Amino acid sequence: MADRPNAPAGDEARIGGSPESGVSTAVLDDTGSQQDRGAAAERQRDEYLGLLQRTRADFENYQKRTRRDLAQERREAQAEFARALLPVLDNLQRALDAAAKQGDQGPLARGVAMVEPQLIEALGRFGIMPLIALNQPFDPDQHEVLLQVPRTDVPPGTIVEVLQPGYRLHERVLRPAKVAVAAAPAPEA
């Protein structure tokens, strides 16, 4: 021990007495420590990778939900706008019917007649389409019965008159058609 002034006292006795065995034990301890740190780093990497994957999936779900909510909001805005315009279209049709009953062929009647198809076409560009009801079987999801008319020429439940047209926005009914439906004639007493 006297030969090594820098060695702590008792170091050789603990390690096994020789300086070479002390170095090999230190290298083994350092290697074990490196492996522990490497394993800890791998666990931390895996934890961060899992967190990144979950965060990415959450963000993609958020984007999908936002797009879906925005599309729904647009549809609702279109529906509200269409509901506000439908009475205007109804009044145009009433004006045309009244002009036709009076035989009015003047410029005002012709002008109103030109506006109506333009309005219907504009609504159609936004997915607002009239419901086809006349001569169709009654469908409670699309039609509202206001009258039952005894008829023998068509099967009962067939729509024989459209009192107010119905409209749909894409696949959803915006306003049901108000209709008169054929009913079986009452039996004579």
The 10 Å Cβ neighbour count of residue 114 is 9
With H, G, I as helix, E, B as strand and everything else as coil, classify residue 142: coil
Burial of residue 118, with CB atoms counted within 10 A of its CB: 0-12 exposed, 13-18 middle, 19 or more buried: exposed
In a domain, 72, yes or no: no
Residue 118's pLDDT is 92
Angle at 174 between CA 158 and CA 148, to 5 degrees: 25
In a domain, 31, yes or no: no
With H, G, I as helix, E, B as strand and everything else as coil, classify residue 8: coil
Q: What is the pLDDT of residues 109-128, one digit of tens each?
A: 888 889 989 999 999 998 89
For residues 174 and 146, the answer to whether their CB atoms sit within 8 Å is no
Identify the CA nearest to 72 among candidates 142, 169, 176, 177: 169
Please say if the pLDDT value at position 107 is more than 70. Answer: yes
Residue 26's pLDDT is 66
Which of the pair, 176 or 28, is modelled with greater confidence? 176
With H, G, I as helix, E, B as strand and everything else as coil, classify residue 150: strand
Q: What is the pLDDT of residues 40-78, one digit of tens each?
A: 999 999 999 999 999 999 999 999 999 999 988 888 888
Which of the pair, 4 or 106, is modelled with greater confidence? 106
In the chain, how many domains are there? 1
Domain that holds residue 179: 128-189
- Tell me the C-alpha distance between 95 and 91, whole Å: 6
Q: What is the pLDDT of residues 128-156, one digit of tens each?
A: 999 999 999 999 999 999 999 998 888 99
Residue 171's pLDDT is 85
Residue 28's pLDDT is 64
Please say if the pLDDT value at position 8 is more than 60. Answer: no
Average pLDDT value for residue range 28-37: 78
In a domain, 183, yes or no: yes
Q: Write phi, then psi, for 112 (nearest 5 degrees).
A: -65, -40
Answer whether 0.75 is exceeded by the pTM. Answer: no
The 10 Å Cβ neighbour count of residue 167 is 21
Helix 19-102 / helix 107-125 crossing angle, nearest 10 deg: 160
For residues 159 and 136, the answer to whether their CB atoms sit within 8 Å is yes
Please say if the pLDDT value at position 4 is more than 60. Answer: no
Distances (CA, A) of 137 to 64, 160, 177: 39, 9, 13
In a domain, 170, yes or no: yes
Locate the DSSP E strands across the chain. Answer: 128-130, 143-150, 159-164, 167-169, 172-175, 177-183
For residues 167 and 130, the answer to whether their CB atoms sit within 8 Å is yes
The 10 Å Cβ neighbour count of residue 177 is 25
Q: What is the CATH number of the domain that holds 166?
A: 2.30.22.10
In a domain, 141, yes or no: yes
